[in-house]
Structure 1
Amino acid sequence: MRPAREAKTVWVEEIMGIPMSIHLISAGDPDPERADSAARACFDELHEIDHIFSTYRQDSDISRIRRGELMITDADPRVARVWTACERAERETGGMFSAHWRGWFDPTGWVKGWAVEEASRRHLAPLLDSAVAVGINAGGDLQLFTAAQTDWRWQVGIADPRRRGGMIATLEVTDGAIATSGTAERGHHIIDPRTGVPAAGVASATIVSDSLAHADLWATAAVVAGSADHAWIGSAKTRTGIVVDDDGAVTRWLGSTKIDVQQVSGPQAA
């Protein structure tokens, strides 16, 4: 059941160069000390992971590995885990994602989604024993949790990449993750690792999955695949998704089934 009175608490911090916010929905007054402690622990873990994997910090494990000063086997154990995950992701995407395309190990395209999912599952999800819902927004990518005994739904708007301030859809999510990649905010910054040139043809790709690491991976892969290639949808194992091409064509699917192709013509609901 939905609680008669809902209280919302938000914590915000900049990590990995982007704003991250934790949102707690509770019935009545939450335990502030426990909630604050969980949010702080989540943020602290994300700062720690950023320190290990940042390509901008000269003292990070990743930078030291690139310079030949540190072996992966001697680095933080999470580096080896991410290496293995990136190898698997490259195989699953058919090379549309690669942590090695620059000639060295750069897992930037994997780490954010994985880190946010790991930290939130460890520190935020346990709050559901007394809260209605809790989630984290990492620069627009979301990992969301909802207590089983409630009918709470997260309402997530999907931005129209061709019309600032507009939306092309609203998605309802209980437990799961949503990630969006594209060119609307940062231009053609996503590189096709198979060619070494910027990906083109897709303005935005939004993926809904159980896992933010998985959603983030396939949102990036969808942009790299381009507007003409939707063959990956059948094997990606996503819940649903929306791809908007540069020319305004919208492709939607449910599971592995393409359900709609149309032109953007204004706000829509999904």
Structure 2
Amino acid sequence: MTAPRVRPGLRRVEHVMGTAISLDLADDLPVATLHELAEETFGWLREVDARFSTYREDSEVCRFDRGELPFSEASADLRAVLERCADLWGATDGFFDAYATGRLDPSGYVKGWSAQVASDRLLAAGAANHCLNAGGDVRVRGHSASGQPWRIGIRHPWDPTATCLVLAGTDLAVATSGVYERGHHVVDPRRGAPARGLRAVTVVGADLGLADAYATTAVAMGSAGIGWLDRLPDHLHAIVTDDARLLHSTRLPLAD
């Protein structure tokens, strides 16, 4: 049997938004075009980092939070993110709260949203086969260079060298929120204290910004997030609890 032809493609990794972001372009396009698409993608992500970083005093988010930038003078991207975060606050009964830590921090939505925008732009530019992994928030479309569906490993929450699940698909948005790198950093806004009960939550849907926000929401809910995710329409999930139970949707697209 003839082996499938492997497309040349391009792989690039950069450290942006405080995490390693990898881009795999698997279309048989001219090398110069692939490099141009990669540069546009990482240029956008660097722009998002400069605008939304909570660690840079001159970022738009920090300036807005300090009251130095009126909403009317904010960029269209910042206004759109703030409006989306307000909508999510209402839709999650306050558990998705960009002000949960006492200051504005929309990071629980921004990373997934920015990667989704980047993926949409790649698709519009003719790169129909790609995988963008923004520190565990993953958007895949089409097929890998081997012609097979993309495989997405979900990190084991106690062993960084292992996976607890592997998903496969051709059009998936997969977001994971966990406490294994930064500790219990997600705040339960009801108690004003770090949420406990869920070690890691992965949400699978069609939009990575929404999946990212929902994963953060479930972690903030603690053990109550399990039932909430079960009732969430149009999304699938996988959960690892603090006591090491692995729970997941029956229709989760697990790799063979």
TM-score by length of 2: 0.89
Residue of structure 1 in register with 2:100 after alignment: 101
Please give the per-residue CA displacement for 1:193-216, whole angstroms capped at 9, x wherever unaligned: 222111111111111111110111
Distance in 2 (alpha carbons) for counterparts of 1:269 and 1:91? 35
Q: How does 1:204-223 map to 2 (within 5 A)?
A: 204-223=200-219
Residue correspondences, number: 251
Residue of structure 2 in register with 1:232 after alignment: 228
- The answer as to 2:162 corresponding to 1:166 is yes
**Letter in structure 2 aligned against 1:75:** A
Residue of structure 2 in register with 1:190 after alignment: 186
Residue of structure 1 in register with 2:172 after alignment: 176
User: RMSD across aligned C-alpha pairs, in angstroms?
Assistant: 2.4
Q: How does 1:133-144 map to 2 (within 5 A)?
A: 133-144=129-140
Aligned CA distance change for structure 1 residues 228 and 185 (closer, same or farther; 3 Å): same
**Letter in structure 2 aligned against 1:49:** V
Please give the per-residue CA displacement for 1:37-71, whole angstroms capped at 9, x wherever unaligned: 11111111111121111111121111111222110
Structure 1 residue 239 displacement after superposition: 3.3
Q: Greater share of strand residues, 1 or 2?
A: 1
**Letter in structure 1 aligned against 2:79:** A
**Letter in structure 1 aligned against 2:76:** P
- The answer as to 2:196 corresponding to 1:200 is yes
Aligned CA distance change for structure 1 residues 41 and 47 (closer, same or farther; 3 Å): same
Aligned CA distance change for structure 1 residues 77 and 185 (closer, same or farther; 3 Å): same
Distance in 2 (alpha carbons) for counterparts of 1:44 and 1:80? 20
**Letter in structure 1 aligned against 2:23:** I
Please give the per-residue CA displacement for 1:104-154, whole angstroms capped at 9, x wherever unaligned: 43212211111111122113553336xxx211111121011116xx96311
Residue of structure 1 in register with 2:37 after alignment: 38
Aligned-residue identity in percent: 36
Farther off after superposition, 180-189 or 77-86: 180-189
- Structure 1 gaps of 5+ residues are 260-267
- Structure 2 gaps of 5+ residues are none
Residue of structure 1 in register with 2:246 after alignment: 250
Residue of structure 1 in register with 2:110 after alignment: 111
Structure 1 residue 93 displacement after superposition: 1.6
Farther off after superposition, 230-239 or 52-61: 230-239
Contact 2:9–2:25 under 8 Å retained in 1: yes
**Residue 44 of structure 2 aligns to a residue in which SS?**
helix
Q: Write out the 4+ residue segments of structure 1 that deviate beyond 4 Å after TM superposition.
A: none
Residue of structure 1 in register with 2:8 after alignment: 7
TM-score by length of 1: 0.84
**Residue 127 of structure 1 aligns to a residue in which SS?**
coil
Farther off after superposition, 158-167 or 62-71: 158-167
- The answer as to 2:67 corresponding to 1:68 is yes
Distance in 2 (alpha carbons) for counterparts of 1:61 and 1:112? 16
Distance in 2 (alpha carbons) for counterparts of 1:46 and 1:164? 25
Please give the per-residue CA displacement for 1:194-243, whole angstroms capped at 9, x wherever unaligned: 22111111111111111110111111112122224423124433432110
